Amino acid sequence: MLDIRQIPIGALLGLIITTLLVLSAILAPLIAPYGIGQIVGGVWEPATSEHWLGTDNLGRDLLTRMIYGGRITIFIAALATALSFILGSVLGFTAAVVGGWFDTIMSRLVDLLMSIPTLIFGLVVLSVLPSSTLTLILVMGILDSTRVYRLARAVAVDINVMDFVEAAKLRGEGRAWIIFREILPNALSPLVAELGLRFIFAVLFLSALSFLGLGVQPPESDWGGMVRENKEGIVFGIPAALIPAGAIAALSISVNLVADWVLNRTSDLKGGRGNA
Amino acid sequence: MPDAGGTETLLDIRDLRIEATVYAPGEDPRDVVIVDGISFKLAKGRVLGLIGESGAGKSTIGLSSMGYGRGGVRITGGEIIVNGRDIRKLGPRGLRKLRGSEVCYVAQSAAAAFNPAHKLMDQVVEAALRHGTANRREAEARAVELFRKLSLPNPETIGKRYPHQVSGGQLQRVMTAMALCSKPDLIVFDEPTTALDVTTQIDVLAAIKDAIADTHVAALYITHDLAVVAQVSDEIMVLRHGKMIEHGETRQIIEAPRKDYTKALVSVRSIEHEEKKPATQPILRVEDVTAAYGGGVVRVLQDVSVDIFPGQTLAVVGESGSGKSTLARVITGLLPPLEGTVSFEGRPLPPRLANRTKDDLRELQMIYQMADVAMNPRQTVKTIIGRPLEFYFGMRGAERDRRVAELLEEIEMGKGFADRYPAELSGGQKQRVCIARALAAKPKLIICDEVTSALDPLVADGILKLLLDLQKREDVAYLFITHDLATVRAIADSIAVMYQGKVVRYGTKTEVLTPPYDDYTELLLSSVPEMEVGWLEKAIAGRRMEAAGN
Amino acid sequence: MGSSRILILIAQRIAMGVLLLFAVSALIFAGTQILPGDVAQSILGQAATPQALANLREELGLNDPAIVRYFRWLGGVLTGDLGTALSNGRDIASSLEDRLGNTLFLAAIAAIVSVPLAILLGLLAVRYRNGAIDKIISGLALASTSLPEFFIGYVLMLFFAVKLQWFPSVSTVYDTMSFVEKLRAVALPATALTFVVLAHMMRMTRAAILNVMQSAYIETAELKGLSPFQIIRRHAFPNAVAPIVNVVMLNLAYLVVGVVVIEVIFVYPGLGQYLVDHVTKRDVPVVQAVGLIFAAVYIGLNMIADIVAILANPRLRNPR
């Protein structure tokens, strides 16, 4: 079993912060002190014992907004990551094992998509698509699946040429056994670490889009949208916009620390079991 | 300070201790001792061979004579006296003056040790120029002279080439010239011929030996091959796990070893194997097979025909690029041939793996060179050996476990290993598990692709003995692919010699190994170092006579 | 002999780049055709009569198939005609000119600061590998790859523009400004942009140098008794140049993208701001044109990175 004392301090901290943020997102309606759209005071009031983080540009409780905003950020980023992962890894594995024209076409298409910066292509597409949560998830997930595809394909191609896979083919094993029993267990740990990085990317991408006014649309707002709502305050020396921005940073640093640790712990294929 | 031989001591190592910090993933870093209590003296102009298996600490000792530790290796005790002064007390500046002028280094892989961005000549003379032992003109003249002495082609112009423009054997000789160019007192040769093919090795070995003799330089010659070191060294030190086992004159070590470990090393590959008579009906027949990669562009096999008889061993021997591994790929169906057929027990096998029946696959098993990558690192030994039982015979549960335990007994390992992962096994144990996996299918033929070449000699010997035992018990035939003639002598009943995609000589072991030979077999046989002092001179003299005779 | 082979390789790489650019232009065009509804609808709004729509479509040539419209658009782009903006009817090419200049100015300032700094820090990290400096540098790298651009941007703005009042919080630039005034105006966005790319560039530089320093030929040089300086100058540098230039080019490409968000934060009149404004207005011709420019710069920088790698490879310069 995993011993908590063996986790490096950075990863432990990352794990704790990530857990807290995710929990507060899930339990948002239970722990939020006020209603999401409820105006409770003046504009940009400083922190008090009633409003721990002060109020926002319309006089709403900032802590409440943060809790609900985190919910939206994490929800959309998680779904987009799941989509990009399922799409990317299924296509990547298939391309590696099947090879031939399927591999060639898929790989060229991915090369093409990756030759345009994600943000730019995202903006181009969002200029014609309706602004909705579903659109965001689809656009983010599909664009990001190119990176997962590349990784999954590379990992699977590497494993596919190893002698133990050849031994299984010589034994006469079917394609399903080879993918699920020989390749997948060995591809899992680089993919799991990548999952963390893709999630961070999704959080940052979504926040950037919302900040630019092209992501989550008012009245709902995620953390990136909250930065946009409160950015005018900066000029008057009111740091309200920095709170959601800081939360995004805290979330992505925490996940990064955990992903780094997972990658280091399991990067060695010959190292055997993940919990050795 | 003259020693017993009356010559001056050049290198005096006293009670050397070397440690390294190991960073295992998921563990705290810990210090391990890799060299412990080593002492020896080396007189000017003498050659000391350092021999041992991997992990014996021989390279570490060699590099310590230059005050150098590779990747976190630290010299933590003892004295290293070169030309009368302890180099551990020299600062960085003093060590820099020593390296490249008094002591020089020849690495195992010259291809990696040369800087790809500079011409050979610039790199050869660099040390001499930096240390001010010669001006450029003198150094280049000396380099050309050394190129000539080392029998490099076009000694005048080869220095103008870049490292990637010359062959591996030539590069190794250029590296020797680089070490000799600044007229050092001592050269550390670190496995200089290990990466070379056997027919190239002998020339490089002879060139190195001549150059050492001509320049009166002393040398530490590091290798894992006792037969090689016997040719070039005056004395030999046998190392194991960082400790000295035995140290003596070369002739004494080879002809009258005192310690058991040394005896084992000397007698390695002296397995006696009585050759069997060919049966009438071959189990596997390869007829006129021609094969190519890249859709017929690169021909790698040309009209190859061989037979393998039941319960016997055919050894296919050749150097890298001879097509011997391709032959295995054709037989297993991984590479369908352009022409020719492979038949098993008299019926032709479908050329493509996908078209063969489960029984065809079962009766023909394969064992690989690198046991660590031939096993899925995420499966236990029980799963690895048990899968063929389940797949071919439908065994499950307790029945399967019992059979796995039996197989583990057969490979002399015991059922305690069933729940281990490959990473928890030693190199020899991994190869044994691979053998058990092949045996589990109850095959009639096993293809063994260089199965012992990644292993230390004693471990390799154990594997060969096991394979011979199993052949007697199970009556299984082997197709044994190897580049090592000693292995061939130990186990073969018949031999096919391959060269550039063709079988150049084929027959029973006695036929193939009895003169008259064809040119290539002659070259190959005369190139394999024998565990005998003075073999190199005889072999080279034999070649010169031959050349003069033609 | 060697040079002709290199020329062929470079020509191939350039041809690849051009081909890619065409493919990308098609992709960008296709990306704006995903939905039914068109430019005519956007111009006239939902309330437009069918007759008015049909007339406008006829006028704009929207009844032609997509492929015809694509080639018409591409032909325009190749001759410098990027069309007119829907939102204000202005010629896109002439509105772009100033903004492109501004964006390149900002990116250039950030590059001039970040490239030498990243290489220096990368070298330091390698020199003191696994030491405190290396740890601090890689910790900062981890932090800054995780920070959103606006966090860096607003922190800088809050302290240096609002609290300390050293720089303006809104980075307005116009033609009549002197160079020094312009520099002062872009100081904060350029700093933010530097932070955005610095860590990544430094990490990659570190990896590139480490890769070279761990080569066997560096050990050979060390065992020849060369000084650390000689080793770096004679043996590491010639082999490290190509990977480092490669890293720099890739990160400049990254920087050009980072410019979009930074420009919005500091209300800087550049291409990124222009693009975001027109995405919001759903002004498709502008989005297509600006998207294509960004993609072209990105592809161009990647191409230069590859060409440098070809030029610096001794195996290609001196074939067998």
The residues spanned by each domain of chain A are 53-275
Give the pair of three-digit tokens for residue B348.
Answer: 């032709």
State the CATH class of domain B284-380+424-514: alpha beta
State the CATH class of domain B4-266: alpha beta
* Domain layout of chain C by residue ranges: 2-36+82-317
Query: Residue B302 in 3-state DSSP?
Result: strand
**Cα B101 from chain centre:** 31
- Closest to B374 (Cβ–Cβ): which among A164, A269, A272? A164
C75 and chain A in contact, CB less than 8 A: no
Measured CA to CA, the distance from residue B13 to residue B219 in angstroms comes to 14
Other beta carbons within 10 Å of C206: 24
Q: Are B225 and B529 in contact (CB under 8 A)?
A: yes
Q: What angle do CA B433, B437, B439 make, to 5 degrees?
A: 110
Q: Are C120 and C232 in contact (CB under 8 A)?
A: no
Other beta carbons within 10 Å of A127: 23
Instruction: Provide the terminal-to-terminal Cα distance of chain C, rounded to the nearest Å.
Output: 10
List of residues 6+ apart from C150 with CB closer than 8 A: A207, A208, A211, A224, A227, A231, A241, A245, C261, C265
Q: Which of B421, B21, B419 shows the shortest CA–CA distance to A274?
A: B421
Are residues C148 and A119, on separate chains, in Cβ contact within 8 Å? Answer: no
Which residues from C are below 8 Å from A235, CB to CB?
157, 161-162, 169
List of residues 6+ apart from C116 with CB closer than 8 A: none
pTM of the model: 0.79
Are residues B377 and A186, on separate chains, in Cβ contact within 8 Å? Answer: yes
pLDDT of the residue at B434: 95
* Mutation site, A127, A129, A226, A257, interface C, largest C CB count within 10 A: A127
- Closest to B421 (Cβ–Cβ): which among A164, A182, A273? A273
List of residues 6+ apart from A67 with CB closer than 8 A: A24, A25, A28, A31, A32
> ipTM of the predicted structure?
0.82
Q: A26 pLDDT exceeds 90?
A: no
Strand arrangement of the beta sheet that strand B73-82 belongs to: B30-43, B9-22, B73-82, B85-86
Chains touching chain B, criterion 3+ CB pairs below 8 Å: A, C
Which residues from B are below 8 Å from C219, CB to CB?
70, 107, 113
- Closest to B421 (Cβ–Cβ): which among A164, A264, A272? A272
Tell me, what amino acid is at B116?
A: P
Measured CA to CA, the distance from residue A100 to residue B470 in angstroms comes to 42
Instruction: Count H helices and E strands in chain C, helices first.
Output: 14, 0
Q: State which fold the A53-275 domain adopts.
A: MetI-like fold (1.10.3720)
Q: Are B146 and B181 in contact (CB under 8 A)?
A: yes
Are residues A185 and B376, on separate chains, in Cβ contact within 8 Å? Answer: yes
pLDDT of the residue at B3: 42
pLDDT of the residue at B307: 93
* Domain layout of chain B by residue ranges: 4-266, 284-380+424-514
Are residues C318 and B100, on separate chains, in Cβ contact within 8 Å? Answer: no
Measured CA to CA, the distance from residue B529 to residue B229 in angstroms comes to 9
- C48 — alpha (psi -120 to 50), left (phi > 0) or beta? beta
Q: Are A202 and A251 in contact (CB under 8 A)?
A: no
Query: Strand runs (DSSP E) across B205-242, as ranges?
Result: 218-223, 235-240
List of residues 6+ apart from C105 with CB closer than 8 A: C173, C182, C186
B177-202 burial: b if 16+ Cβ within 10 Å, else e: bbbbbbbbbbbbbbbbbebbbbbbbb
Cα–Cα distance list, B62 to B46, B58, B89, B97 (Å): 15, 6, 18, 18
Q: Are A77 and A203 in contact (CB under 8 A)?
A: yes
Query: Strand runs (DSSP E) across B84-153, as ranges?
Result: 85-86, 103-106
Query: Residue B313 in 3-state DSSP?
Result: strand
Q: What angle do CA A91, A94, A100 make, to 5 degrees?
A: 110
Q: How far is C227 from chain B (nearest CA, A)?
A: 7
- pLDDT bracket for residue A88 (50, 70, 90): very high
Domain B4-266 shares a fold with domain B284-380+424-514: yes
Q: How far is C188 from chain A (nearest CA, A)?
A: 14
Tell me, what amino acid is at B307?
A: D
A-contacting residues in B 349-368 (Cβ below 8 Å): 353, 356, 358, 361-362, 365-366, 368
Mean pLDDT in runs of 10 for chain C (320 residues)?
Answer: 75 90 88 67 68 74 77 84 77 85 90 90 81 80 81 87 79 76 86 87 84 89 89 86 83 83 89 88 85 89 84 72
Inter-chain CB pairs, B–C, below 8 Å: 73
What's the whole-number mean pLDDT along residues A170-190? 87
Are residues C225 and B113, on separate chains, in Cβ contact within 8 Å? Answer: no
What's the whole-number mean pLDDT along residues B374-388? 92
- pLDDT bracket for residue B28 (50, 70, 90): low
B-contacting residues in A 132-191 (Cβ below 8 Å): 162-164, 166-167, 169-173, 181-182, 185-186
Give the pair of three-digit tokens for residue B221.
Answer: 């010659």
Which residues from C are below 8 Å from A126, CB to CB?
279
Q: A1 pLDDT exceeds 50?
A: no
Q: How far is C158 from chain A (nearest CA, A)?
A: 6
Q: Which residues pair with B249 in a beta bridge?
A: B235
Q: Give the number of residues written for chain B.
A: 550
CB-based burial label for B214 (10 Å; 0-12, 13-18, 19+):
exposed
Q: State which fold the C2-36+82-317 domain adopts.
A: MetI-like fold (1.10.3720)
- pLDDT bracket for residue A270 (50, 70, 90): very low
> Between C175 and B168, whose confidence is greater?
B168
Measured CA to CA, the distance from residue A37 to residue A69 in angstroms comes to 12
Are residues A241 and C155, on separate chains, in Cβ contact within 8 Å? Answer: no
pLDDT of the residue at A276: 28
What's the whole-number mean pLDDT along residues B348-357? 91
pLDDT of the residue at C74: 87
Cα–Cα distance list, B448 to A35, A125, B164, B332, B426 (Å): 73, 57, 33, 12, 19
Q: Are C257 and C264 in contact (CB under 8 A)?
A: no
Q: Are A2 and A12 in contact (CB under 8 A)?
A: no
Are residues B127 and C318, on separate chains, in Cβ contact within 8 Å? Answer: no
- Closest to C155 (Cβ–Cβ): which among A113, A207, A242? A242
Query: Residue B155 in 3-state DSSP?
Result: coil
Q: What angle do CA B115, B118, B119 make, to 5 degrees?
A: 115
Q: Are B492 and B479 in contact (CB under 8 A)?
A: no
Are residues A186 and B366, on separate chains, in Cβ contact within 8 Å? Answer: no
Q: CA-nearest residue of chain C to A120?
A: C291
**Cα A257 from chain centre:** 14
- Closest to A186 (Cβ–Cβ): which among B26, B378, B424? B378
pLDDT of the residue at B26: 53
Chains touching chain A, criterion 3+ CB pairs below 8 Å: B, C
Q: Are B111 and B163 in contact (CB under 8 A)?
A: yes
- Closest to A124 (Cβ–Cβ): which among C28, C146, C154? C28
- Closest to A163 (Cβ–Cβ): which among B25, B370, B378? B370
- Closest to C225 (Cβ–Cβ): which among B98, B114, B115? B98
Q: A272 pLDDT exceeds 80?
A: no
Q: Which of B496, B520, B450, B503 shows the shortest CA–CA distance to B290?
A: B503
A1 and chain B in contact, CB less than 8 A: no
Are residues A124 and C291, on separate chains, in Cβ contact within 8 Å? Answer: yes
Could you identify the residue written with the tokens 């709502």?
A: A229
Q: How far is B415 from chain C (nearest CA, A)?
A: 43
pLDDT of the residue at B136: 92
Give per-residue pLDDT as tens, B225-250: 888 999 999 999 999 988 999 999 99
pLDDT of the residue at A274: 33
Measured CA to CA, the distance from residue C169 to residue A31 in angstroms comes to 37
> Between B174 and B423, whose confidence is greater?
B174
B370 and chain A in contact, CB less than 8 A: yes
Give the pair of three-digit tokens for residue A24.
Answer: 């507060």
Cα–Cα distance list, B488 to B316, B428, B469, B496, B532 (Å): 8, 19, 16, 10, 19
Are residues B391 and A173, on separate chains, in Cβ contact within 8 Å? Answer: yes
pLDDT of the residue at C281: 83
Are residues B164 and C219, on separate chains, in Cβ contact within 8 Å? Answer: no
- Closest to C34 (Cβ–Cβ): which among A115, A129, A214? A129
Helix axis angle, A223-230 relative to C149-156, nearest 10°?
A: 20
Q: B2 pLDDT exceeds 60?
A: no
C155 and chain A in contact, CB less than 8 A: yes
Query: Strand runs (DSSP E) across B205-282, as ranges?
Result: 218-223, 235-240, 243-249
Give per-residue pLDDT as tens, A126-158: 888 887 889 899 999 999 999 999 899 988 888
B164 and chain A in contact, CB less than 8 A: no
B-contacting residues in C 48-107 (Cβ below 8 Å): none
List of residues 6+ apart from A54 with CB closer than 8 A: A44, A45, A46, A47, A48, A62, A240
> Between C63 and A125, whose confidence is greater?
A125
pLDDT of the residue at C39: 63
Which residues from B are below 8 Å from A181, CB to CB?
376
Measured CA to CA, the distance from residue A229 to residue A211 in angstroms comes to 9
Other beta carbons within 10 Å of A64: 24
Write out the H or E segment, with its range, that includes residue B49. strand B47-51
Q: Which of B178, B174, B186 shows the shortest CA–CA distance to B219?
A: B186
Q: Which of B474, B505, B498, B492 shows the shortest CA–CA distance to B407?
A: B474
Q: A271 pLDDT exceeds 60?
A: no
* Beta strand pairing call for B103-106 and B298-308: unpaired
Q: What is the mean pLDDT of chain A?
A: 83
Measured CA to CA, the distance from residue B468 to residue B313 in angstroms comes to 9
Q: B477 pLDDT exceeds 90?
A: yes
Give per-residue pLDDT as tens, B415-454: 888 899 988 888 889 999 999 999 999 999 999 998 988 8
pLDDT of the residue at C123: 84
Are residues B422 and A272, on separate chains, in Cβ contact within 8 Å? Answer: yes
Write out the H or E segment, with its range, that includes residue B364. strand B364-367
